Amino acid sequence: MTHRDPVIIAGGGPVAAVLAVALWKQDIPITVLERETQPLIDQRAASNHPPTIKMLVDLGLEDILKEGLEAPKYRIWDRETRETIVEFDLTELSDEFAYPFVLQYEQYKTVRKILDLFGGKTGFNFLFEHEVRTLKQESNHVNVEVKLPDGSIKTMRASFIIGCDGAGSTIRKEAEIDYLGFTYDENFIKIGTYFDFSVIPGVQHRNFWSDPYEWCNLFKVNGEPPDPPIWRGVFPMRKNETPEQASRPEAIQERLQRFFPKTGAYDIAYSNVYTVHQRVAKTFHKGRVILAGDSAHANNPIGGMGLNGGIHDAINLAEKLGKVWRGEASLDLIGLYSRQRHKAASDFIQAQTIANKKMMEDSDPKSRKKRFDDLRRVGEDKEKRREYMRRAQLMDSLRAAETTI
């Protein structure tokens, strides 16, 4: 039986927006419910890995290629010595990747691009100031209670509801799905500055500075033209450091000056403090309730895997949900989505990001030396380099998910 009720997506971030387009292109009516008043300019994620770029271009978002910043190379550094441990060049995988580079393109720009291209089209409804409050599953639909802009409550009917509403997901909580894992004791702070870090010899558009006391991820993005590009540094905060303390202008300047001392103050574009989780939902679906993106899994940002994993969720889910919505397959197919993407999140994204953080912050001299020596050996061996890059760019996770039944 073909379902005529629309698919409702809770949350208006990049995973929700990509999923909405992927479903809408199958002539499935979608309604996105976002509680904010407009697209949230969230400076967290910007690195789109090669498989993700292809997915976005295949959806019709090819404009991102000229608007984003190509980053084929990335370096891992020893911050203590200022020496390069290893450099990776994704053009070595030109035979495997249609786009052998990381595209630095902020996630809010992806949402904005999708709204520019598809917003207002028949069947594509992206509603702001609409907050999901509760839901109730019936045999062949879901009743969704929504708070409207005027404060009133309305019940909407959906064939499925998909939670793309973040780590604190209302949808996941309403479905009583456990979110297993842990939250780090320390917060992270992201600082954007207009200072051009390319003055440091060897600095690429993407850099990972390992340090036992204060590691740093350093990336370049185009920012908002005509403003100059922005360099984004992600640092760990001290375990007893409050967001208020870390966000003080003098504290921001001090942190940047410790990283790279220079004459005069840094010109700051923004700063954000956020809590970091390593969690995976026990299941990514329960009946007609489905989870994707941070609602389903969350991880630390070292390696830029959260956004990419979420978009991979969306593309995988859209293909399967389309068949179920049209009556071509049973709900069992959504169970396959859950198993495939749960494996990708648990065995690859979680494992790799946890390992990345341990490498970045390792304070034991012997262990630290061994990690660096191992990385250098990887960098010196062509096949090991290729293997490392496949895993780091989530190609291995996609292949493993495809073989999961």
Domain ranges of the chain: 7-66+108-182+278-402
* DSSP assignment of 218-247: EEEE--STTSPPEEEEEEEPPTT--HHHHH
Residues 6+ apart with CB under 8 A from 77: 83, 84, 85, 207, 208, 209, 210
pLDDT at 83: 95
Q: Sheet containing 153-158: give its strands across.
A: 131-137, 142-147, 153-158
Instruction: Please give the pLDDT value at position 3.
Output: 54
- Residue 38: the pLDDT is 85
Give pLDDT, residue 2: 46
The pair phi, psi for residue 3, each rounded to 5°, is -85, 130
Q: Are 30 and 24 in contact (CB under 8 A)?
A: yes
Which pLDDT score is estimated for 327? 95
Whole-structure pTM value:
0.96
Q: How far apart are CA 110 and CA 113, in angstroms?
A: 5
Tokens linked to 391: 């895993």
For the chain, the distance separating the N- and C-terminal CA atoms, rounded to the nearest angstrom, is 25
Q: Which parts of the chain have pLDDT scores under 50?
A: 1-2
Cis previous bond, 261, omega within 30: no
Helices and strands (H and E) in the chain: how many: 13, 22
**Both tokens assigned to 160:** 């499925």
Establish how many alpha carbons lie within 13 A of residue 191's alpha carbon, considering only the half-sphere containing its beta carbon.
25
Q: Say if domain 7-66+108-182+278-402 classifies as CATH 3.40.50.300.
A: no
Please tell me the predicted confidence (pLDDT) of residue 1: 38
